[in-house]
Structure 1
Amino acid sequence: QVHSQGRARSSLRFPGQNSINHPEVLNFRIQLESKELIIHLERNEGLIASSFTETHYLQDGTDISLSRNHTGHCYYHGHVQGYSGSTASLSTCSSLRGLITFENNTFILEPMTNETNAYKLFPVENLKGTWGPCGSHHSTSALAAENRLPPPSQTWARRHKRETLKMTKYVELVIVADNREFQRQGKDLEKVKQRLIEIANHVDKFYRPLNIRIVLVGVEVWNDIDKCSISQDPFTSLHEFLDWRKMKLLPRKSHDNAQLISGVYFQGTTIGMAPIMSMCTAEQSGGIVMDHSDSPLGAAVTLAHELGHNFGMNHDTLERGCGCSVAADKGGCIMNPSTGFPFPMVFSSCSKKDLEISLEKGVGMCLFNLPEVKQSFGGQKCGNGYVEQGEECDCGEPEECLNLCCNATTCTLKPDAVCAHGLCCEDCQLKPAGTACRDSSNSCDLPEFCTGASPHCPANVYLHDGHACQGVDGYCYNGICQTHEQQCVTLWGPGRWLPPVGAEQWGWGARSVSTSITPAVDAKCGKIQCQGGASRPVIGTNAVSIETNIPLQEGGRILCRGTHVYLGDDLPDPGLVLAGTKCADGKVCLNRRCQNTSVFGVHECVMQCHQRGVCNNRKNCHCEAHWAPPFCDKFGFGGSTDSGPIRRAGEWGQHVPGSGGNPPVGNPVHPH
């Protein structure tokens, strides 16, 4: 038993993180004042991917990466029996510890110091820690303004929103602990690794209601020295970490997002920072988190907040009027600008809306691929909902299985069934090759089609960086079509437009982020200038209007309107032109400079497609409807080696979106 605010003994034995003896299901009782609570836990299968590695360093700087071969881990999710809406997120690695929430109250369960099998349960308000805000103190974002604007195609947008939100997103996450964190945890390598996984377990619990799963693909501990400069300046530390991630971590470890857990106390009151709308990008998909609490829960809440910024979520400021299901005195919602007592663990209506709009714009293009779990660190088990090695299907426990194609007891297909799961499985049979299974989400995305050989929709692909957007005057960058016009709407609302040609010579972005004068060729990559729109910026009370009357060569004057918006150091100023925005024919803004799209290598990639297709982000040709990959030089069914064929046999009317190519003369060759 475990008693609140006191000592108690437990008959439970915890064999350690590396043991195989952690049960799949665990029940235990807690005596809380006059209540006896029964906690039901199930091991969080799928938390840790098959590619999961643990990395640390030798004294000479050599990195050591280990792959776990365990059949079970020690991280659990669950609930309090008999209490609707209750949650539990605990670990049993070396002892029982974690959080339990019921009746709008959150409690921390921890082992007693210097006691064997003795535990304490106390309100989260009593937890020791350092509290403060995210690096952004005032954030009413560009996305909040966009919420009021109808999309170009209402019907398409509604359909795509339903499909995108319905699909589970998987964030393949790496968590890194810096050297100061290693020291603060007693230089105990296993303790630090365990703490990082426990943080991920909590974050996964927070994001599940949004249909987002956190899949840990790696933890890394800088036990010798920091691999980049980490200081008390959070802004500098963030950019140092993001640069290290891009240059060092990404080439050796495939992942979607990386977060640094730091033992350094950042200056001021900042406890975390992350760029907004940066998920899946090589440059900025990550953040930094100060480990500000004795419990891993503190860092988990901050990490969830910074990850929210990566997803495009902004702070829940009063002026946004966000709906939160938890009262402020009970913790409020995760995207509150400042973290305090108790911990927030849910997302607000504003966060959900921000997420919807980000996904519609193409943010998070890498998240729709199911990570490999056939050799899951979580262990194999028929009934856990994951199709693992040796299983034909898995629809959960027999009492909860609703799949008509799968035998829940044996995890095998029923007679005459060919498949049981996947977007390309219907009525227990494979859909024909060429059946659309994932529509393009924006002008830079490509659709995917069933292959006829697999029940699963192919992994998401999109247009190569530097490709012309489909139907929009711009260029693709990280799967999104950035335009000046779109950014002017974001800043000033409907009714805005760009200054006439020639106005840029008088100061369209006349200064970059630094104080030096920007060359004329780079003018469109600094502060964006707009005309018209609302009387003041629509993105919040902290936006400052910068207006300039510009004389035109042909006579007359125009009013150019720029803005400066303070969102804090961790969020970019939306008054600056976004990277990837078209600045001239064949050129885009990169690092505040107008650069040729040739830097992306898109022209070389397109050349191999024989003018009958486009190039995707994997540098493969996506062919028109009547030409075959990989080079669109032979008759076929279109598509790419990544996306599947774009039409079925006998169909002649489908084309690559925006291609407009003509079908070849003669009959197509059927693939074998």
Structure 2
Amino acid sequence: MARLASRGTHRPVQPPREKAALGTARRRWGRSERPGRWAVARLVSERPNCPQPSSSSWAATHHAPSSAAACGAPRLASNRARRQKVKDFQDIFLQIITPEKIQANINDSEVENEEISYIIPVDGKQYTIYLKKRYFLSENFMVYLYNQGSMKAYDSEVQTQCYYQGYVEGYTNSIVILSTCSGLRGILQFENVSYGIEPLESTIEFQHVLYKLKNKNNDSALLTSHDQGIKQNSVNYVILLSKKSQEAGTDLRPLYLEMHIVVDKVLYDYLGSDSMVATSKIIEVISLVNSMFAQFKVTIVLSSLELWSDENKISTDGEADELLNKFIEWKKSYLTLRPHDIAYLFIYRDHPNNVGATFPGKMCVTHYSAGIALYTKEMTLEAFSVIVTQIMGLSLGIAYDEPMKCQCSGALCIMNPNAMQFSGVKTFSNCSLSDFENFISNMGTRCLQNKPQMQKAPAAVCGNGKVEGKEQCDCGNEEQCGPDSCCDFRTCVLKHGAQCATGLCCKRDCKFQSKGFECRPRAHPECDFPEFCNGSSAKCEPDVTVHNGHLCKHGKHMCFGGNCQDSNAQCEAIFGKGSRAAPFQCYEEIHAQTGRFGNCGINNKDYVPCRWRNFRCGRLICTYPTRIPFYKDNVAVMYAYVRDIICVTIDFRVPLSAQDPMAVRSGTYCDKGKICVNRQCVDRLAVEKKEQACSQTCSGHGVCNSLLKCHCFDGFQPPTCKSKTRAYSEVPEKQDLNRETTQIPVALLGESGLLTPPTAAPPPGESLQCSVALSTAATLSARAALRRPNAPTAVIQPLKAPTQRSHVPSSSPSLRNWKAARKHQ
């Protein structure tokens, strides 16, 4: 029967950080009700990481971040006051830091950056982290997306050779999970506290935001309080009386679990309807799960990922166990050709009764190797990875721990019913090890013994045009490179004196572009941000836009994908001045025929007919402003005369697999209060509210960007754009976006977790998305900022008179000269 992980009435375990504030100690006896278990008596300090009397100099001088205050803090008036003090600190802890890379160890590896190290400052102290690259994606890892019911498979565009796992020097019970794909992004876990780190966007320095993680779902327990219809794991425990229980699984053989993950439509939208973001987040979850299962020498291999991007393929209503049975039936029919040992469905619920379901001990039973994991509101990525690990543990025959009877090396064991509520390193207990050994010895794990081929860094082949391994550059063969290339085509090494060979921030003289050089201009002044070079890299910063749903052109249109989606402007750009988006009768006339001129997409080489309500979201139909026939190379033109209006559309004759240039763009208005999204006419409020909820945290001095972070106006600094920066008096007031066009109506706010839900915005320090992008211009000098190309005055206002920025008297010569020059303009 399906095992549920749900809310319950268990007494919460005291949080590790709260214990640190209490500063007491008690004797804890480890006992087991199961026969054959060994018992341990130990004195546990309730002030973790505080110096203890010891002959070891390390014990007297080292402690975890921020523990000094807890160890030496004066006694507070009450436990409630202590708890509030700890809570307040957790809510406000946030740092802007610049990590320093200190080592790239390639001496013992054929692959560059196989092992790397960084110095990261935390709360005023420098910590050195050591990292080693981890490979847990299948060699043939694929991402499956849906469009109008048609499924397409893609090789993931997400970088897959940049995931690392390691530890903090001096802290044996620490874990670091980082991605270096674009800056540092991930989690630093100490025994009783965890920190998130991610890069600040649109900054010219290697700046990152560091913040303390805290899961706010403290009322959510994992074990059901009522066993009605739910049974405990039916495995007959056979206790192994050996030293293995104390050796933490050192004799276990390596096992490999191939996993297929499905993300439901609601969670996909919760992630911003972005396949790249969703894929990156799921990979981060599996990276964290792997860090926990490493204790049992089990590697979770992500074989494929399926994103239900258009609609759910099964109903996700009902409790988790009901949904599990539906998913099992769907899995039998649709996942037979995708290699996997177990399939999981990740779904989103605001406040579910259960957080997951699976069949205990059925990992290698084909028809039952599945699970449901629910991501809930205000949950961190760290907490969600614990849920996935626990449910997966149940499938491997591992039962929940009795907290007072099972011991582990960490402050909290993984299979503790309350483990998801607290931060810090978590390990499996002696009880879990015994359960796992029993499972692999009695149940059999043949499905986990085959080692799949996993993605590795490709072997370097100089001359193929791809930079691989230790290559510094690769421009191809001698003819392709040419005499002026910055790269030696024979060795794939930069020529003497060259800093770079390719990239938007690499000049023709093979030097880096200067700091502040605009490498990617705005696609639209109200809906996009420019990106700049940082002076030390050939790469331009990743493209970041205003979040979908932001209003543009005086509130008449909507930003989507970095552009203001105005169908009138689109028609005018194609057919000339005077052309406008056609009235509904034109769409009805052409789309009703369903062909290459009127459709809502293509499915298996057949044109998808548009439903009546979606006519204006199919292909763009315009009014034709002239009597002269339209002509353009390699296009077919269709005219329709409807109610005294000349309607026109064209077919560019692109391959069926290519994007149709005439497809109505998402974000275009299709009816009163409605916009097109993926060829469907939907309520615009659903999109607007996501942007409004995010932007409301920007204090009226910034807007939400495509990464669900505040992009602050010039002169204001993250995380909430409340306080002013020193650059306030050095740059134009409204360099990036006109404030008049970015006033956001007040929306009801929630708080979010690490999976970047667009419907809610977090307080500082809660999740990976809470980091805030610095305003680009605020980090530039005034001179560099003024080199930007001018934008329409409706968006960027003219510079104010110097009297608004200086204390020059009105009678001063400089001001009189300025006024005289102004009159002649």
Q: Structure 2-normalised TM-score?
A: 0.39
Give the number of the structure whose alpha-carbon radius of gyration is greater. Answer: 2
TM-score between both structures, scaled by the size of structure 1: 0.48
